[in-house]
Amino acid sequence: MLSLSTRCQRRILPIVSTQITPGRSANHGVCQAAHFYVIKQPQTCSVLRDNSHLDGITLSGERIVEIKCPVRGRDSTLWKTVEAGRLPEYYEAQVQHQLMVTNAGVADVFVFDGAEGVLLEVIPQPETRPQIHESWDEFMDFVTKSEPPPLSERDVRLRDDPEWLEAAAAYLELKGASDELSAKLDEAKSRLVSMASHPREQGGGLSVTRLWKRGNIDYKRVPVLATIDLERYRGPAREEPRVVVDH
């Protein structure tokens, strides 16, 4: 997601600060009503130990606005999910927290691509608040103690122990040698191919064969497949370890 202070700020704040009138609202079709917001960066509200940073709030405090600018715009998962009338779980938790802190009655979630937007109205879900309070208190406990929380699957564990560094150095050395040999191998192959004019030529312990390979089918362009849930035909997930060299 892009920060409002960068790519989207100049284009979106003039729109939201006057009125939200995107082409379609996920809840109500064409959005007719205009809601005026106070836009500040950041707008912070607090209740007891809970704090929430807002993109905007009406003067009456009855509505808040949360603005998202996905890099892929209308092709993003977020746009499509909001257009279907719901929020991803992680954004739902964020918006419910904002509603709890502000005591607002509605949150207008506006997904914007720089030219157009889609709007979703989110109402408070009081049943989520005990879990929000519990999670917030747990988080603040780490902040107060200046301790990092346990790593999640989305975090990166940093390693600087001798065993890891030794293994990393060995891999990098071999990877560099492999890349160098791979480049030389590609050059040798290109030379052989450029010398071969017949469909198959052989000599010196190898052969060069020219084959025609059929193109791949672009299944996204098959209209009938657009209405079929292909996920049901997907095979089981499997682990795929990757080693990526930092640059």
In this prediction, residue 15 carries a pLDDT of: 52
pLDDT above 70 covers a percentage of the chain that reads 79
User: Range with the lowest mean pLDDT among 16-20, 68-72, 162-166, 193-197?
Assistant: 16-20
Q: Which amino acid is at 246?
A: D
Q: Count of CB atoms within 10 A of residue 230's CB?
A: 8
Going by pLDDT thresholds of 50, 70 and 90, the confidence category of residue 11 is low
- Does the model's pTM come out above 0.85? no
Q: Is the pLDDT of residue 115 over 90?
A: no
Tokens in use for 26? 């996920």
Q: Report how far residue 161's alpha carbon sits from residue 42's, in angstroms, rounded to the nearest whole number.
A: 40
Q: Is the pLDDT of residue 183 over 60?
A: yes
Dump pLDDT digits (tens) for 74-106.
Answer: 899 999 999 999 999 989 999 999 999 999 999
Residue (of 12, 118, 120, 124) closest to 62 by Cα position = 124
User: Which position has the higher pLDDT, 154 or 104?
Assistant: 104
Q: Report how far residue 237's alpha carbon sits from residue 231's, in angstroms, rounded to the nearest whole number.
A: 12
- Would you say the C-alpha torsion 218, 224, 226, 230 has a positive or negative sign? negative
In this prediction, residue 131 carries a pLDDT of: 92
In this prediction, residue 136 carries a pLDDT of: 86
In this prediction, residue 227 carries a pLDDT of: 86
Q: Which amino acid is at 157?
A: R
Residue (of 10, 30, 18, 11) closest to 65 by Cα position = 18
Going by pLDDT thresholds of 50, 70 and 90, the confidence category of residue 160 is very high
Angle between helices 129-145 and 89-102 (to 10 degrees): 90
Q: Is the pLDDT of residue 177 over 90?
A: yes
Across the chain, what does the average pLDDT equal?
82
**Cα–Cα separations (whole angstroms), residue 103 to 30, 52, 64, 126:** 27, 11, 10, 10
Q: Is the pLDDT of residue 117 over 90?
A: no
Dump pLDDT digits (tens) for 17-64.
Answer: 444 543 334 443 333 334 545 544 444 454 444 566 788 888 888 999
Q: Is the pLDDT of residue 188 over 80?
A: yes
pLDDT above 90 covers a percentage of the chain that reads 49
